[in-house]
Structure 1
Amino acid sequence: MAALACSVPLPPDFRPDDVLAFHARDTQQLAERVGPDRIAKGLVWNGHPAGLEIVFRPGHADASLAIDGPHDSATGQLEALVRHLLGLTQPVDSFEAAYRQHPLLGPLIARHPGLRVSQAATPFEALTWAVTGQQISVHAALALRRRLISATGIIHSNGLACYPDALALVRLNEPALHAAGLSRSKAQTLLSLARLVAEGHLPLDAWRDGTPADEIRERLLAVRGIGPWTVNYTLLRGFAHLDGSLHGDAAVRRKLQALLGQTERITADEAATWLAPFSPWRALVAAHLWAAPWVGLQSDSAG
């Protein structure tokens, strides 16, 4: 077994509990194992099962990657993965400086200073999770995610299942995905995406190196079964793009309704209009809405 290790400094306002909560969404802990100060995650690294562990220490995070197979990776690649996963590339200081005094958004920032958007390990994981979760509850999406991971059958030597890469997913067929509980349309979309990525037509990992979000959006929207919400969620969780307008997200609209103190539901168009002035931070505003409590928003914002 090959291994990499690194230590990554953390800013004073870093919020490890946010990261731990994101990776603890699946209480069955099939592919992620979360403790009070650490995360263990199964993933595919250059075609091999790998076990990533991140341990939070005062002022820094220690990371190790155990790979079941040969590799020629450098420690810098692991450090880049960890910084991405923890949201350390996100310029949240600039966002907070711009809106700390905003009458509505300011109180949300005060509740969660240093809020970053936790990331999926790869853009492919973010994209396939978004497809899996289309138009269903988070609970149902997590169940489908578990079954999809189980269907590919990639297990690291530490016992954790590994979220599949495109090559692993493309080895499945539509009946196998049906058996995992995916609808026909979602199964077809996932297989199409896996083929396009595996064949190099959608170079998701290469797009991390500065490809404009609009170009990524255009390429993904050309795939049947991919709509604006899926693309914006993928840009947010897979590329740390903080300006996707998540106005189509039901939770964002519910939280915005509470923030504004409205009795009638906020439509997607109304949410888009409200979020527009916050560009280039619209997705980070949505993240603060996700983190906001269900009640008490109006009184807090008024104070």
Structure 2
Amino acid sequence: MTLNSKTLELTLPDNFRRDDFIAFHSRDSHSVAERCDEQSVTKAVMHQHQPMTLGFHFDQSSLRVQCEGENAADFALQSVAETLLGLDQGTAEFEAQFSQHPEVGALLQQRPGLRVPQSATPFEALLWAIIGQQISVIVAINIRRRLIQAANQAAPNNLLAFPDVETVMALSDERLRETGLSRAKLMAVRALCDGIASGELPLDDWLHKPEAELIYQRLLALKGIGPWTVNYALLRGFNSLDGSLHGDVAVRKNLGELLALNSTPDAKFTEHWLAQFSPWRALMAAHLWARANAAGY
């Protein structure tokens, strides 16, 4: 196999939070699909059914991004890099509007420029959201790793790429169950893959022209996929910052601590509270996540 490469230089905003981006990709200490150090992230991805790697190398306010793989020459490196970094998210407008908010102003000022790192593809975001339903982050990371290993898409730099739709569809139910997926989650994954394969769920088209309500309704119609899963996937996979993550346990827990409540607020209270931050409800949720964990979830 002939490896090609492509490199570009990006100038980052003054308030870009490099450590948050690195922390997000450092969640799995086994470094199966991502390898990180204090100044870089190398991530394996799928492109045109071939594994490749993306390297992010930080130097103060600048960034060198490199892709390496058989199909690297026609890879939209700048567009993908800017999306993964969250550079087109409206954080400045959000912070300007709510920096003096009596409940969250101080929180926003602690983390200026907080962005939500994106998954490499909407499919990766959706699969990660399904895996993470109603289990701890640590358990979800372990299942994700076993799924990547089961798919065995070997990329340059001794990494394995998160599988694409076709690769997951080729895995048997038994093999997927061995990763730790419950039967209900297996059925949700199969329904998702079938919808993508049939054209009912055109994820790539939606990525280039996101229509949050249409995506929400189409995904919600799948058995085993509920509002939390869809809103999380919209945030991580489609750069949509207005999904309401009121059902998220960590969001509710951190909100209770922020407001000094006697107990963790329920989903209804949290939904009502987040509504005031529309169209940035999910970005507000990300700030609540960051109170406890720079990596988010």
TM bucket (normalised to shorter chain) is over 0.9
Q: Tell me which residue corresponds to 1:12.
A: 14
User: Per-residue CA shift, 1:238-291, capped at 9, x if unaligned?
Assistant: 111111110000000011111111112200000001111110011111111111
Kindly state the Cα deviation for residue 157 of structure 1 after the two structures are TM-superposed: 3.0
* Structure 2 SS opposite 1:26: coil
Distance in structure 2 (CA, Å) of the matches to 1:200 and 1:7:
36
* Structure 2 residue 273 is matched with structure 1 residue 280: no
Counterpart amino acid of residue 285 in structure 2: A
Please give the residue correspondences for 1:187-266 in structure 2 after superposition, counting only pairs within 5 Å: 187-266=186-265
* Structure 1 SS opposite 2:63: strand
Kindly state the Cα deviation for residue 200 of structure 1 after the two structures are TM-superposed: 2.5
* Structure 1 SS opposite 2:155: coil
Q: Tell me which residue corresponds to 2:60.
A: 58
Q: Tell me which residue corresponds to 2:110.
A: 111
Instruction: Identify if the C-alpha distance between structure 1 residues 293 and 158 changes in structure 2 by more than 3 Å, giving closer, same or farther.
Output: closer
Q: Structure 2 stretches of 5 or more lacking a match?
A: none
Instruction: Identify if the C-alpha distance between structure 1 residues 157 and 264 changes in structure 2 by more than 3 Å, giving closer, same or farther.
Output: closer
Kindly state the Cα deviation for residue 71 of structure 1 after the two structures are TM-superposed: 5.8
Runs of 4+ in structure 1 off by over 2 angstroms are 69-72, 198-201
Once the two structures are overlaid, the 10-residue window that deviates more, 148-157 or 32-41, is: 148-157
Counterpart amino acid of residue 27 in structure 2: R
Once the two structures are overlaid, the 10-residue window that deviates more, 284-293 or 249-258, is: 284-293
Instruction: Identify if the C-alpha distance between structure 1 residues 147 and 71 changes in structure 2 by more than 3 Å, giving closer, same or farther.
Output: same
Distance in structure 2 (CA, Å) of the matches to 1:149 and 1:64:
22
Distance in structure 2 (CA, Å) of the matches to 1:253 and 1:208:
29
Counterpart amino acid of residue 113 in structure 1: P
Kindly state the Cα deviation for residue 182 of structure 1 after the two structures are TM-superposed: 1.1
Distance in structure 1 (CA, Å) of the matches to 2:72 and 2:57:
23
* Structure 1 SS opposite 2:156: coil
> Number of residues paired by the alignment?
291
8 Å CA contact retained: 1:121, 1:238: yes
Q: Tell me which residue corresponds to 1:21.
A: 23
Distance in structure 2 (CA, Å) of the matches to 1:57 and 1:200:
42
Kindly state the Cα deviation for residue 190 of structure 1 after the two structures are TM-superposed: 1.1
Q: 1:35 aligns with which of 34, 37, 54?
A: 37
Q: Tell me which residue corresponds to 2:5.
A: 3
Kindly state the Cα deviation for residue 58 of structure 1 after the two structures are TM-superposed: 2.3
Instruction: Identify if the C-alpha distance between structure 1 residues 102 and 70 changes in structure 2 by more than 3 Å, giving closer, same or farther.
Output: closer
Q: Give the fraction of aligned pairs with identical amino acids, expressed as a percent.
A: 45
8 Å CA contact retained: 1:33, 1:41: yes
* Structure 1 SS opposite 2:86: coil
Once the two structures are overlaid, the 10-residue window that deviates more, 232-241 or 186-195, is: 186-195
Distance in structure 2 (CA, Å) of the matches to 1:240 and 1:224:
24
* Structure 2 SS opposite 1:214: helix
Counterpart amino acid of residue 256 in structure 2: Q
Kindly state the Cα deviation for residue 168 of structure 1 after the two structures are TM-superposed: 0.8
User: Per-residue CA shift, 1:211-232, capped at 9, x if unaligned?
Assistant: 3100100110111111000000
Distance in structure 1 (CA, Å) of the matches to 2:5 and 2:73:
11
Distance in structure 1 (CA, Å) of the matches to 2:91 and 2:137:
26
Please give the residue correspondences for 1:79-118 in structure 2 after superposition, counting only pairs within 5 Å: 79-118=78-117
Counterpart amino acid of residue 80 in structure 1: S
User: Per-residue CA shift, 1:155-193, capped at 9, x if unaligned?
Assistant: 113210110010111111211111222111111211221
* Structure 2 residue 77 is matched with structure 1 residue 73: no
Counterpart amino acid of residue 203 in structure 1: P
User: Per-residue CA shift, 1:67-120, capped at 9, x if unaligned?
Assistant: 1x346615xx11111101111010100000000011111000111011001111
Distance in structure 2 (CA, Å) of the matches to 1:8 and 1:262:
43
Kindly state the Cα deviation for residue 10 of structure 1 after the two structures are TM-superposed: 0.4
